[in-house]
Amino acid sequence: MQPNFQTSFIPKKPVGGDVEKISVVHDTDIFTLAATIVFIVTALLYGGLYFYKNLLVNQIAEANKQLEDARSAILPEKIKELLDANSRINTASILLEKHLVNSRMLSLLGDLSVKKLKFNDLNYSNKTGSPTIKINGEVQTYNALAKQQQIFTESEYVKNPTFSNIALDANGNIKFQFTSTIESGLLSYKKTIESLSVNQ
């Protein structure tokens, strides 16, 4: 009998004896790991910023819509009317502040003048904001002139009273020239109205 030989070329036993399991180790370098982390973080940030941008755009659109609704709720005619009224009030306030009551100056001069005094000429100016008067007058006696100077000097409304050009005229009267500034508070229309409302 002939021996049984198998003619298979596939080995039945491992060649070289017992083979241990070989584990495959992948080497990762640090730069690849860092690049991967940076990529993931960048992708997350980009996505977050994209959604945040969309959120802001939506909020701005909503705010614009609310602003337009508020504008349409306010009537433009009413706004114009209120602005006109405000302008008129401001103009009236400015006029009230700057308006002077010159009749109070004339009343003051009448109240402070002695009986033997006569004013021939009165010049009034208010160029510098300080009302100034220049009066040409005459008085019958020197005593009356001295009394008049004393009264003007003691008055709180007559500032820097000066008598000059004192001379006798043909009738024996004493002629003089008087200059002074008047306290602007006396002539203020606003203060006049306020004093009237306090007295009531």
The Cα diameter of the chain in Å comes to 191
Domain presence at residue 138: yes
Domain presence at residue 88: no
Q: What is the pLDDT of residue 20?
A: 58
Average pLDDT estimate for 14-32: 65
Residue-number span of the structural domain to which 112 is assigned? 102-199
List the CATH number of the domain containing 132: 3.30.1360.100
Average pLDDT estimate for 49-57: 95
Distance CA 114, CA 176 (A): 14
Identify the top-confidence range among 27-36, 48-57, 141-150, 168-177.
Answer: 48-57
Q: Is the pLDDT of residue 192 over 80?
A: no
In the chain, the amino acid numbered 192 is: T
Identify the top-confidence range among 5-9, 50-54, 113-117, 161-165.
Answer: 50-54
Domain presence at residue 129: yes
Domain presence at residue 189: yes
Whose CA is closest to 114, among 166, 76, 149? Answer: 149
Q: What is the pLDDT of residue 200?
A: 62
Domain presence at residue 24: no
Q: What is the pLDDT of residue 12?
A: 66
- pLDDT band for 59, please (50, 70, 90 cuts): very high
Q: What is the pLDDT of residue 188?
A: 74
Q: What is the pLDDT of residue 21?
A: 58
Q: Angle 76-98/189-199 helices, nearest 10 degrees?
A: 90
Q: What is the pLDDT of residue 103?
A: 78
Domain presence at residue 20: no
Task: Quick: pLDDT tens for 64-120.
Answer: 999 888 877 777 788 888 899 999 999 988 887 777 777 778 888 888 888 888 888
Domain presence at residue 164: yes
Q: What is the pLDDT of residue 109?
A: 84
Q: What is the pLDDT of residue 2?
A: 61
**From residue 198, how far is each of 8, 58, 166, 190, 194 by CA, in Å?**
134, 60, 43, 12, 6
Strand-pair partners of 117 = 139
Q: What is the pLDDT of residue 198?
A: 67
Domain presence at residue 10: no
Average pLDDT, the chain: 83
> How large a percentage of the chain has pLDDT more than 90?
25
Q: What is the pLDDT of residue 9?
A: 65
Total structural domains within the chain? 1
